[in-house]
């Protein structure tokens, strides 16, 4: 350093600077000052306290990441309502620290569900609470990205409490995914569709559960929403019209057709725009006419053909065994033993979803060498058992995340392959897993339990 630079350092430390000082003297003065300051900080307990909380405070992004990880771990292991309420309490208490923390905590409260129960409806009005919770400046509900709501509550917010256009925009402007469900199978009205199209301008995914759609006009309203990329009618009812490509927005990439009986105009329906398609048990002739269009499909969902329906099974086998098959994610509803044969013929599937428990899904996934991830269903309090019981067989899979089911009781969990148990062996697995204490490894009973499960499934299908 030059003499002028050393002089600036002395001024910064508020030390006297004389023109007669030589360069070496200036360096000695600076070093002596730093040595004395270091002793004061090291020996003074009060300075130690400030050093940890002020001088070395964690950046906000790291603090947010710590809170997010803790929040995710709590919601993975404890998805029951009484546990979630406790988790909400400590998060809300953190939001009172400062405006910055309020903003951070608010970003975590982005998935909201409003439903009706007899006891809850008797003492409160969820439709009124939904309005005031979002509009109130003291509420953390500022950015709702994922909303699950009963159709009756949705209508009460719009019509009963007469929210103006500004209030409706505040509630729905950030919405990306909407799930409307109805326990009474009430029909969807055209005005409901217009409200969705008008105020949910950023909506990307729409799921209608147990809702009747009686008119083509409602589908035409949805077609006007350019932001939509996903439509889920798997548990909807189409009545009085045939579905064709003219009723589907060009931006839609993911489409789930009803599992129940409906009319599909296969001659005027093109599947080229879709990358994800789902349906229930289609007529064999209709299935044969459309399955040749699945050139761009990377995610497929269907109901497993029954044991006696060999012709339908052969159609799926030709698709899955084709060299041009691009399917990466396969969902099979009501699986039976046939799915093992189908998986063994495929070389592209990486993710499997059977809507079944962990053990059954794991053993069936072993039929394919390409599967790296699968989804499984858990009931209340069953997840800790497969996480902690290392006396069972090691699988090589870790738990990635879980989410509570909106309609049914229980949760959906995601398992990802961390190592190949066939290469490592069950004896060395425990030692290997001990090097990764932060990962949540999954275990399952021995393979002889699987026979019992598959027999039960085959019997249920024959009935």
Question: In angstroms, what CA-CA distances link 299 with 246, 265, 409?
Answer: 22, 22, 25
225 half-sphere exposure, CB direction, 13 A CA radius: 27
Sorted by where each starts, the structural domains of the chain and their CATH numbers stand as 3-55 (no CATH), 109-269 (3.80.10)
* Nearest Cα to Cα of residue 227 among 196, 255, 204: 204
pLDDT digits (tens, 9 = 90+) for 410-444: 678 899 999 999 888 878 888 899 899 888 899 88
pLDDT of the residue at 370: 95
Element housing 74 (H / E): helix 60-77
17 within 8 A of 10, measured Cβ to Cβ: yes
Higher pLDDT, 180 or 15: 180
pLDDT of the residue at 119: 42
1 half-sphere exposure, CB direction, 13 A CA radius: 14
Measured in degrees and rounded to the nearest 5, phi and psi for residue 403 equal: -145, 145
Dist CA 403 CA 72 (whole Å): 10
Share of the chain above pLDDT 70, in %: 76
Measured in degrees and rounded to the nearest 5, phi and psi for residue 150 equal: -65, 145
Q: Which of 131-135, 184-188, 415-419 has the highest mean pLDDT?
A: 415-419
Is residue 127 over pLDDT 50? yes
pLDDT digits (tens, 9 = 90+) for 198-233: 999 999 999 998 888 888 899 999 999 999 999 999
438 within 8 A of 313, measured Cβ to Cβ: no
- β-sheet bridge partners, residue 404: 411
Higher pLDDT, 326 or 283: 326
pLDDT of the residue at 450: 45
- β-sheet bridge partners, residue 278: 256, 301
The three-state secondary structure class of 392 is coil
Under the banding of pLDDT at 50, 70 and 90, the label for residue 349 is very high
Q: Which residues contact 325 (CB under 8 A, 6 or more apart)?
A: 319, 346, 347, 348
Residue with tokens 């148990």: 421
pLDDT digits (tens, 9 = 90+) for 239-249: 888 888 888 98
pLDDT of the residue at 368: 92
């Amino acid at each position: 350093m030059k003499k002028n630079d050393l002089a600036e350092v002395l001024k910064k430390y508020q030390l006297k600077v004389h023109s007669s000082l030589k360069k070496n003297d200036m360096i000695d003065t600076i070093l002596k000052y730093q040595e004395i300051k270091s002793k004061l900080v090291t020996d003074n307990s009060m300075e130690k306290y400030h050093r940890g909380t002020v001088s070395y405070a964690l950046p906000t992004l790291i603090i947010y990441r710590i809170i997010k990880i803790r929040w995710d771990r709590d919601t993975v292991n404890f998805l029951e309502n009484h546990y979630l309420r406790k988790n909400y309490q400590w998060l809300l208490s953190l939001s009172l620290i400062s405006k910055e923390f309020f903003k951070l905590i608010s970003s975590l409260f982005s998935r909201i569900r409003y439903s009706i129960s007899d006891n809850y409806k008797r003492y409160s009005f969820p439709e009124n609470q939904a309005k005031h919770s979002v509009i109130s400046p003291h509420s953390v509900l500022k950015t709702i990205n994922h909303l699950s709501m009963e159709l009756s509550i949705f209508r009460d917010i719009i019509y009963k409490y007469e929210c103006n256009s500004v209030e409706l925009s505040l509630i729905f402007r950030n919405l990306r995914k909407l799930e409307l469900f109805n326990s009474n199978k009430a029909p969807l009205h055209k005005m409901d569709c217009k409200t969705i199209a008008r105020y949910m301008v950023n909506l990307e995914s729409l799921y209608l559960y147990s809702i009747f759609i009686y008119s083509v006009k409602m589908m035409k309203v949805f077609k006007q929403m350019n932001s939509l990329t996903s439509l889920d009618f798997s548990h909807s009812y189409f009545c009085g019209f045939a579905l064709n490509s003219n009723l589907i927005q060009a931006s839609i990439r993911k489409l789930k057709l009803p599992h129940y009986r409906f009319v599909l105009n296969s001659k005027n329906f093109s599947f080229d725009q879709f990358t994800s398609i789902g349906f229930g048990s289609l007529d064999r002739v209709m299935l044969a006419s459309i399955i040749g269009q699945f050139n761009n499909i990377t995610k497929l969902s269907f109901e497993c053909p029954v044991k006696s329906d060999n012709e339908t099974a052969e159609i799926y086998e030709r698709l899955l065994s084709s060299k041009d098959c691009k399917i990466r994610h396969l969902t099979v509803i009501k699986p039976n033993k046939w799915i093992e044969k189908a998986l063994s013929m495929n070389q592209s599937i990486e993710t499997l979803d059977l809507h079944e428990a962990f053990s059954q899904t794991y053993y069936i996934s072993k039929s394919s060498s390409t599967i790296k991830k699968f989804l499984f269903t858990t009931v209340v309090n069953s997840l800790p058992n497969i996480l902690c019981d290392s006396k069972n067989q090691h699988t090589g899979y870790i738990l990635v995340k879980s989410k509570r089911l909106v309609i049914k009781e229980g949760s959906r969990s995601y398992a990802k392959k961390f190592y190949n148990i066939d290469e490592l062996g069950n004896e060395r697995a425990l030692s290997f897993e001990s090097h990764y204490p932060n990962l949540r490894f999954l275990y399952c009973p021995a393979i002889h339990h699987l026979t019992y499960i598959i027999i039960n499934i085959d019997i249920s299908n024959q009935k």
